[in-house]
Structure 1
């Protein structure tokens, strides 16, 4: 089973991969990455749902219900406990590119709205993806953030070499599943406890955290930026 709820053009809205280097991360306005575009397929674009509440210090984590497991974060959402009624899993997308700087396949993770926009741009540039390298550019900060693809019409000699090499790179069949790693159930419960949720009322004793509970992973595959998932994303569920 997979965490993804849709792939390829249907995406509306463990392989030993180093997650620290598996993602394209654009942190501030006008940050960019030089990439080769890949056709939109089930291997290159995936849609999933994730919970987060930055005010509670709970960072983006995939909902694990698609795996056929009870999701502790969904338990909190449906608990009736005040303050957790908006803890919905919201749509996110992962889109795959070849990073020209490293020559490696990399994932780019975004909110549903941002991902949809970039996916549409990729489809528009389908006829040019083997002619030009592109830049994936971040525009704006905080809640006013969008992303655009810009063809590099006058590439440097090194850009051209990197682009030609990138044409030979293939996306591993399991790449998307390998970069989207669910949090362990106990970690999710510990995070709920740290956020003040009465975990003892909803989970078995052997699942409850000891002491102060769990901590957020230091290897979050997703950029932990509040602007990436706004309240409006609930509408894109």
Structure 2
């Protein structure tokens, strides 16, 4: 492959693409019991599957597995080591949904377990032909294993709200948006996170991680803040 990445029409389209300026403090939809946001669903297919690692018990937040990207994944290696206290590090299936938050005026994402995703997809497909006209209330009900997330159609929008809704008429969610939002850790950051969680990294990794090494994992915004991401809802 050469250094040219696009030609002609593709190059022109690349010029038009918006620079990804994402506010990571606001982009994730995180709701407490009874909370809701009003959203527009831009298409019936604005969601992606990814493989994730996370351990609530050890303080390891949900994060993408690096293996699907063809990279070494330290958390996969830690799981394969079969250390008894760290038997929940295997990769799990999760889904990331993109919604237009009509009150915030921005595209936001919600990270879902497989079970939560199936329920959301059922609703989205039910209203697939009406997405250009119907806004939804995205609501959380319950806690822990009793948590559910629902999309309920809003029957009528006021004039001001209709204007907010129509602001997204030309909006398209690109794959690179999901890639950017997921913020995968590097192999080195994963090892630092494992050490912080108490995993014996010196025994299983050919690296030196000192106690005073700089840990930048706190600079990465958590994808999910469920009470226990190891539970399958």
TM-score when normalising by structure 1: 0.82
Indicate the residue corresponding to 1:29 in structure 2. 33
Distance 1:17 1:62 in 2: 18
Distance 2:211 2:188 in 1: 11
Q: Give matches, 1:6-25, under 5 Å.
A: 15-25=20-30
Unpaired runs of at least 5, structure 1: 1-13
- Superposed CA offset, 1:110-133 (max 9, x none): 112112211221111112212221
2:117 to 111, 115, 118: 115
SS of equivalent residue, structure 1 residue 30: coil
SS of equivalent residue, structure 1 residue 110: strand
Q: Give matches, 1:32-51, under 5 Å.
A: 32-41=36-45, 44-51=46-53
Q: What value does the CA root-mean-square deviation take over the aligned residues? A: 2.1
Q: Give matches, 1:99-110, under 5 Å.
A: 99-110=101-112
Distance 2:58 2:213 in 1: 15
SS of equivalent residue, structure 2 residue 202: helix
Unpaired runs of at least 5, structure 2: 1-18
Distance 1:162 1:60 in 2: 32
Indicate the residue corresponding to 2:159 in structure 1. 157
TM-score when normalising by structure 2: 0.83
Q: Give matches, 1:1-237, under 5 Å.
A: 15-26=20-31, 28-41=32-45, 44-206=46-208, 208-211=209-212, 214=215, 216-227=217-228, 229-232=229-232
* Larger CA Rg, structure 1 vs 2: 2
Paired residues in the alignment total 215
Distance 2:203 2:193 in 1: 15
Distance 1:19 1:179 in 2: 8
